[in-house]
């Protein structure tokens, strides 16, 4: 590797400050550890999904997911969250000696020279994924002209999100053989399990009826959803609403309200099936959303209308051919909802009137099918990228394990 004067100068500057850095309070878990760095919330979502798929295939594997900002409170199993320390040699060495990662996935760009150099010197395989030309250089680096090239040479492989990113990498001295243009790395669709016999039975019973789903709703949202259903039923009197509580334990409370207000209901947990006159099907069981997404061509994603809520994953209905409606409080999945909405695969609603209007517009099968297809297309775009990264990590860990 050719010596870089710019990198040497930067690292000399990065040796500033105290050499004694306290180790992170959280211990390193046993087993394989993938260190992944996310430059934005979209990459956080995509990496967490990748971690779940890796853990399913490699029991005992964990992911350490770092960001430049303090991590959110939302956590998933097998994923440790941490803030990446300041880019100094002392901090990087303390970080790497504590966590001892087996592999590093660095997303986007925003390269941190001390961490990348120290990781390479600790023999951690480095992969830059979803490389974006806008994040590969920084204004402050004008004083270090060959620094980007020196850093990029530390990566064993670079996955570029576009042809423009690949051209930017070539201008920085990366060889064509070290670049793979894959498209954007984003959270994608994963199909949920379901009972085919239940789906066939319900499809037969509901043939010809407009069906829409309110998924993962909070008790405080049920009134708004039911008000919308009243308006929908005035134009489509055979319409059926399927209500899935976010917490099945809320089923009795929701059931009591439905009975009090005079709705004709069927309760799935009681083994009841919807009849021709049923207006609301209360699906108050756990783990059957894969069935309801397949039954309903229109889905309102709950836990999104009331202030203080943070939304639920829109990739789920998209993966099953259902058009997506959602409320304004989806901060946990804002990047995903924005991606679907910009493409025309999702639509925001704010109250009973806008929810009813959106459902009414989507009741014609061609309208819901068009929107659902767009959502599915968006959700599946990154499937190939995620599979490629999954194989890359698996192969690298297998080779390291055989040494």
Same domain for 361 and 390? no
Q: Is the pLDDT reported for residue 227 higher than 80?
A: yes
Question: What was the pLDDT predicted at 38?
Answer: 94
pLDDT of the residue at 403: 59
Confidence of residue 14 (pLDDT cuts 50, 70, 90): low
Q: Considering only residues 229 and 113, tell me which one the structure prediction assigns the higher pLDDT.
A: 229
- The residues, ordered by sequence, that sit 6+ positions from 333 with a Cβ below 8 Å of its Cβ are 45, 310, 311, 312, 313, 314
Count of other CB atoms within 10 angstroms of residue 141: 17
Segment among 67-81, 186-200, 256-270, 307-321 with least mean pLDDT: 67-81
Residue 140 has pLDDT above 70, yes or no: no
Question: Running DSSP on this structure, what letter comes out for residue 191?
Answer: P
With a cut of 60, say whether residue 2 has pLDDT above it: no
Separation CA 5–CA 234 (nearest Å): 74
pLDDT tens digits, 158-168:
999 989 999 98
For residues 210 and 41, the model is more confident at 210
Q: Assess whether 178 and 324 both reside in one domain.
A: no
Q: How far apart are CA 125 and CA 121, in angstroms?
A: 10
Q: The CATH number of the domain where 155 resides is what? A: 3.40.50.11720
Is residue 26 in a domain?
yes
| Domain, as residue range, for 301 | 196-380
What are the φ and ψ backbone dihedral angles of 181, each rounded to 5 degrees?
-85, 110
Neighbours of 327 (CB within 10 A): 24
- Give the Å distances, CA to CA, from 122 to 13, 92, 94, 184, 389: 20, 11, 12, 29, 22
Q: pLDDT > 70: what percent of the chain?
A: 92
Same domain, 142 and 251: no
Share of the chain above pLDDT 90, in %: 65
Q: Give yes or no for residue 157 having a pLDDT over 90.
A: yes
pLDDT band at 104 (very low <50, low <70, confident <90, very high): very high
Is 85 a member of any domain? yes
Q: Would you say residue 347 has pLDDT above 70?
A: yes
Q: Is the pLDDT of residue 278 over 70?
A: yes
Residue 403 lies in a domain: no
Same domain, yes or no: 347 and 246: yes
pLDDT of residue 17: 58
Residue 372 belongs to domain with CATH number: 3.40.50.2000
Q: Are residues 393 and 367 located together in one domain of the fold? A: no
pLDDT at 97 over 80: yes
Give the chain's length: 403
Cα 315 from chain centre: 8
Confidence (pLDDT) at 349: 98
Report whether pLDDT(232) > 60. yes
Domain shared by 180 and 292, yes or no: no
Q: Are residues 312 and 372 in the same domain?
A: yes
Is the confidence at residue 386, as pLDDT, over 60?
yes
In this prediction the pTM is 0.73
- The reported pLDDT for the residue numbered 355 is 98
**DSSP per-residue letters across 27-91:** PPPSS-EEEEE-SSHHHHHHHHHHHHHHHHHSTT-EEEEEESSPPPS---TTEEEEEPPPS-HHH
Residue 41: the pLDDT is: 83
Same domain assignment for residues 234 and 171: no
Shared domain check, 241 and 180: no
- pLDDT of 217 above 90: yes
Q: Can you point out the beta strands (E) in 314-396?
A: 323-326, 346-348
One domain for residues 135 and 153: yes
Least confident range of 72-81, 271-280, 362-371 = 72-81
233 part of a folded domain: yes
Say how far apart CA 208 and CA 338 lie, in whole Å.
Answer: 32
291 shares its domain with 365: yes
Domain annotation covers residue 371 = yes
pLDDT confidence tier of residue 76, bands split at 50, 70 and 90: low
pLDDT bracket for residue 1 (50, 70, 90)? very low
Q: Do residue 130 and residue 160 come from a single domain?
A: yes
Overall number of domains in the chain: 2
Average of per-residue pLDDT values in the chain? 90
């Amino acid at each position: 590797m050719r010596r870089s004067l710019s990198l040497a100068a930067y690292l000399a500057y990065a040796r500033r400050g105290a050499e004694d850095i306290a180790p992170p309070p959280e211990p390193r878990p046993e087993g394989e550890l993938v260190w992944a760095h996310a430059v934005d919330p979209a990459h956080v979502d995509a990496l967490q999904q990748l971690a779940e798929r890796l853990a399913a295939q490699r029991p005992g594997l964990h992911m350490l997911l770092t960001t430049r900002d303090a991590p959110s409170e939302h956590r998933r199993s097998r994923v440790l969250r941490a803030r990446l320390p300041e880019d100094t040699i002392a901090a990087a060495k303390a970080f790497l000696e504590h966590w001892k990662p087996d592999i590093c996935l660095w997303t986007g760009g925003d390269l941190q020279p001390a961490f990348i150099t120290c990781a390479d010197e600790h023999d951690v395989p480095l992969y830059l994924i979803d490389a974006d030309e806008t994040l590969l250089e920084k204004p402050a680096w004008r004083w270090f002209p060959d620094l980007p090239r020196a850093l990029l040479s530390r990566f064993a492989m670079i996955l570029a999100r576009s042809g423009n990113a690949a051209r930017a990498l070539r201008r920085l001295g990366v060889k064509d053989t070290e670049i793979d243009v894959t498209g954007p790395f984003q959270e994608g669709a994963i199909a949920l399990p379901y009972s085919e016999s239940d789906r066939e039975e319900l499809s037969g019973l509901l043939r010809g009826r407009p069906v829409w789903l309110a998924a993962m709703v909070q008790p405080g949202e049920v009134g708004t959803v039911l008000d919308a259903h009243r308006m929908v039923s005035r134009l489509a009197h055979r319409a059926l609403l399927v209500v899935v509580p976010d917490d099945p334990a809320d089923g009795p409370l929701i059931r009591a309200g439905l009975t009090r207000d005079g709705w004709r209901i069927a309760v799935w947990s009681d083994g009841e099936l919807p009849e021709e006159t049923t207006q609301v099907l209360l699906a108050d069981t756990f783990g059957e959303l894969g069935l309801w997404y397949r039954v309903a061509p229109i889905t309102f994603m709950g836990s999104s209308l009331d202030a203080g809520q943070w939304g639920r994953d829109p990739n789920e209905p998209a993966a099953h051919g259902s058009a997506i409606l959602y409320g304004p409080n989806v901060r946990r999945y804002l990047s995903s909802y924005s991606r679907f909405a910009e493409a025309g695969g999702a639509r925001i609603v704010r109250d009973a009137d806008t929810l009813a209007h959106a459902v009414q517009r989507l009741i014609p099968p061609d309208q819901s099918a068009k929107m659902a297809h767009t959502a599915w297309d968006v959700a599946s775009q990154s499937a190939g990228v995620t599979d490629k990264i999954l194989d890359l990590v698996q192969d690298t860990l297998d080779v390291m394990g055989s040494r």
